[in-house]
Amino acid sequence: MRKKIIVIGAGPAGLTAAEQLQAAGYQVTLFESTDHVGGLARSFELWGQTVDCGPHRFFSNDPRINAYFKSFVQDDYTTVNRLTRIFYRKRFFYYPLQAANALGNLPFTTVIHILASYVGQRLRPIKAPSTFEEWVVNKFGRKLFTIFFKNYSEKLWGIPCSKIDAEWAAQRIKKLSLWEALKSTLVGNKGNKHKTLVDQFAYPNQGSGQLYEAIAQKFLADGGTLKLGHPIASVVQNEQGRIIGVNESNGAFIAADFVISTMPLTHLVKGLQAPAAIQTHADSLYFRNTMLVYVEVDASDLFPDNWIYVHSDDVQHGRITNFRNWSPKLYKDKKTSILCLEYWCFDHDAIWQSDADSMGVLAEAELRRMQLLKDEHRVLNTHLVRVPKCYPVYETGYQQHLQPIQQYLDSVEGLLAIGRYGAFKYNNQDHSILMGLLAAKQLMSGRSQQLWHINTDDDYQEGAVADYDLAD
């Protein structure tokens, strides 16, 4: 008999694993708590246009991931020339930083302060930075940290930078340097090799969710079972601790020979027969929520950026996506622009309880305060999407809690945990796709694929230019 596999969650990781296993001849049932596939990378129709849940570009240095992308999207994608900027004190700064632009936007006294702070820090470096603040101050000086890192990072994570783990900086901005920024003044950003920066990216013409809709169609065509709107309450073990299936939220038990979980790691652990110490470690890990406020404006040329990082402390949101500047097929024949403002919060924050109308009013007010909307611009519609538990918080010392959980889960026969939620890693969609591919390979081969190490290797990050061959 074919082995019965249950995959929990139809985001990039779970959907990829399910498709690969079904194609290999397993009997796979994919459970998704919502009514759509794609997770955070889904797309949906809004006011006659297509939008995503914030900006979701596709790029990778890994040929396996690029080949997987191309196998489903084919040539139905656009190569987008990325433009992203930082908004700080009513001025725009190019990201990656360009020295001429940055120096021209800052007061001369601030520039001198930045350079003095940088030189002073290089003369007296912190030997072993353990927090995000220490890491960034060590590399750039305190003045640049306060301008370009502090406000945005604290909006995103909801905790002081002195409590954010240094691993976050090591993963995301390891190669960024003042020297590179100064060099760009003379030669531009050609040849830029920053780990977190990419000049071009691939984008499916119908939105990022186009990829996942195609994967889901292939999964179903191969005979897989997709159950939307079916949340899983817990993963079930027998007396020996081996996984034997799952319990749905309605109480129904579904048997399986193996379970791949992308549900939040903390939720997974609480439903298992884990020792008390492991449960305590899980209680110390937590996630950050996002509120996405979509605003339709009666204009088609608001600003040229794909998205903007908002470092101003006089507004609450942290990032703005302008879907007008991605693929023309998103907005079709519409003459309006749809913006998406991101507000990050915890369950206990008052803003998480705000209704759609009040969030729409807030978003419009903040856009006008930033002067991104002028008096002549009319807001036609607003829409709110709540995304709970979308960012695993890298609080200082979180690895001391995560590693024992990883070791425990490795000891549970018949279970793999993958994905941004499931592995408690701030994955890009390419990381999660790779987790799905390798989880399927591990299950089929019986050989470990080192899944916990994906997105922890400093060299596995995005390159400066998208690494796909357009002539394929």
Mean of pLDDT values over 384-393: 96
Q: Retrieve residue 305's tokens.
A: 């950026």
| DSSP reduced 3-state for 258 | strand
Look up residue 29 and give its amino acid. Answer: T
- Tell me the average pLDDT across 27-36: 97
Q: List, by residue range, all CATH 3.50.50.60 domains of the chain.
A: 4-41+208-284+395-453
Q: Hey, which residues does 288 pair with through a beta bridge?
A: 391
Structure tokens at 207: 């939105």
Query: Averaging pLDDT over each range in 23-37, 55-69, 78-92, 117-131, which range is the top one?
Result: 23-37
Judge whether residue 214 has pLDDT over 80.
yes
Look-up of token digits 């939105």: 207
- pLDDT at position 148 is 87
* Residue range 385-405: mean pLDDT, rounded: 96
Distance CA 207, CA 295 (A): 18
Cβ(189)–Cβ(199) below 8 Å? yes
Q: How much of the chain, in percent, has pLDDT values that exceed 90?
A: 79
Whether omega for the bond prior to residue 96 falls within 30 degrees of 0, making it cis, is yes
Q: Given pLDDT bands bounded at 50, 70 and 90, which one contains residue 456?
A: low
- Which alpha helices (DSSP H) does 209-253 contain, by range? 209-221
- Which residues in 148-157 are b (16+ Cβ under 10 Å) and which e? bbbbbbbbbb
Average pLDDT for 327-354 = 97
Closest CA to 135 of 458, 428, 453: 458
Longest dimension (CA), the chain: 74
Cα distance from N-terminal residue to C-terminal residue, the chain: 39
Write down the pTM of the prediction: 0.92
pLDDT of residue 276: 96
Residue 188 banded pLDDT, cuts 50, 70, 90:
low
Secondary structure of residue 221 in the 3-state scheme: helix
Q: What percent of the chain has pLDDT over 70?
A: 90
Q: What is the pLDDT of residues 122-155, one digit of tens each?
A: 899 999 899 999 999 998 899 989 998 999 999 9
Distance of alpha carbon 310 from alpha carbon 346, whole angstroms = 19
Q: How confident is the model at residue 350 (pLDDT cuts 50, 70, 90)?
A: very high
Please, is 277 exposed, middle or buried when counting C-beta atoms within 10 Å of its C-beta (0-12, 13-18, 19+)? exposed
Q: DSSP string spanning 71-92? A: HHHTT-EEEEE--EEEEETTEE
pLDDT greater at residue 189 or residue 21: 21
Q: How confident is the model at residue 98 (pLDDT cuts 50, 70, 90)?
A: confident
What would the mean pLDDT of 18-45 be, rounded to a whole number? 97
Q: Taking a C-beta distance cutoff of 8 angstroms, is the pair 211, 221 a contact?
A: no
Lowest-confidence segment of 196-210, 228-242, 316-330 by average pLDDT: 196-210
pLDDT of residue 245: 97
Which pLDDT score, from 0 to 100, does residue 283 have? 97
For position 95, what pLDDT does the model report?
82
Comparing 191-200, 213-222, 240-249, 345-354, the range with the smallest average pLDDT is 191-200
- Residue 458 pLDDT > 50: no
**Integer CA distances (angstroms), 1 to 4, 17, 418, in order:** 9, 20, 26
The rounded distance, in Å, linking the Cα atoms of 8 and 263 is 6
User: Mind giving me the DSSP string for 287-300?
Assistant: EEEEEEEEEEES-S
Flag the least confident range among 159-173, 298-312, 367-381. Answer: 159-173
Q: What is the mean pLDDT of the chain?
A: 90
What is the per-residue burial (b if ≥16 Cβ within 10 Å, else e) of 3-26? ebbbbbbbbbbbbbbbbbbbbeeb
Selected residue with higher pLDDT from 470 and 368: 368
The whole-number pLDDT of residue 443 equals 96
Architecture of the domain delimited by 4-41+208-284+395-453: 3-Layer(bba) Sandwich (3.50)
Q: What is the pLDDT of residue 464?
A: 38
| pLDDT class of 183 with cuts at 50, 70, 90 | low
Residue found under tokens 């694993």: 17
The Cα–Cα gap between 259 and 253 comes to 13
Model confidence at 262: pLDDT above 50: yes
